[in-house]
Each structure stands twice: as structure tokens, then as C-alpha cells.
């Protein structure tokens, strides 16, 4: 019986399996990743963490997302603007009435 990685993790947590046991099952199923047993951030050294490479506890409140930009705005009617947001950089186009028509991701 082939289990998806998600099922292995969810069932393991539900049944109280250790992280090491879940990792062994993931590896056996062919996963190319593992759960970090100490709860830290995988692939970050202690030196990097000490230098300030720490993970955010919560997302900053002033983060702009694409869905925040893709809204009716009469002032942007007929325009295409380059917008940088959490999801990347997009060229967003509004129709002549101010309704967003499309967002095209810009590479780079």
C-alpha cells in the first residue's frame, strides 16, 4: 500500500509516533525531505541564526499580497503598473473602469 507523504506525517502525528519513526517511513516511501526532530529550522547553522537569520514568529502586518492589489480602483483605470508583493513582482492591468483584468508575473 503506497501512502502519500502527507498521510505518513498526519497518521504518524495522530498515532503519537516519534519524529524519527515518521522520518524513517518517509524515507522508505521515497521522500527527499525529512522532519526536523529538534523543531529548529532545517539547513540553518547556529552561526547563521546568531547573525540574525531568524524566522519570523508572525507575518508583519504591513505585508502587501497580490489579492490586496487585485481590487477595483477607479484611479488606476486603464493603467498597467508593476507591483511588488509577497508573492513576487507582477505587472497588473486594470480595465477602463478600474476593474483588475490580469496580473502577469515578471521574472527577476
pLDDT of residue 35: 80
pLDDT of residue 44: 61
Task: Yes or no: say if 72 and 100 are a contact pair by the CB < 8 Å rule.
Answer: yes
What stretches in the chain show pLDDT beneath 50? 1
* Cβ neighbours of residue 31 closer than 8 Å, sequence gap 6 or more: 5, 8
pLDDT (tens digit per residue) in 15-36: 988 888 888 888 888 887 778 7
Amino acid at each position: 500500500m503506497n501512502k502519500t507523504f502527507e498521510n505518513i506525517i498526519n497518521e504518524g502525528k495522530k498515532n503519537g509516533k516519534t519524529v524519527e519513526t515518521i522520518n524513517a517511513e518517509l524515507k522508505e516511501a521515497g521522500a527527499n525531505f525529512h522532519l526536523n526532530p529538534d523543531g529548529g529550522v532545517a539547513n540553518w547553522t547556529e552561526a547563521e541564526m546568531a547573525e540574525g537569520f531568524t524566522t519570523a514568529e508572525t507575518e508583519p502586518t504591513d505585508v502587501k499580497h497580490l489579492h490586496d492589489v487585485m481590487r477595483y480602483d477607479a484611479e488606476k483605470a486603464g493603467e498597467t503598473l508593476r507591483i511588488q508583493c509577497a508573492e513576487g513582482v507582477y505587472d497588473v492591468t486594470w480595465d477602463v473602469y478600474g476593474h483588475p483584468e490580469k496580473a502577469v508575473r515578471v521574472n527577476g
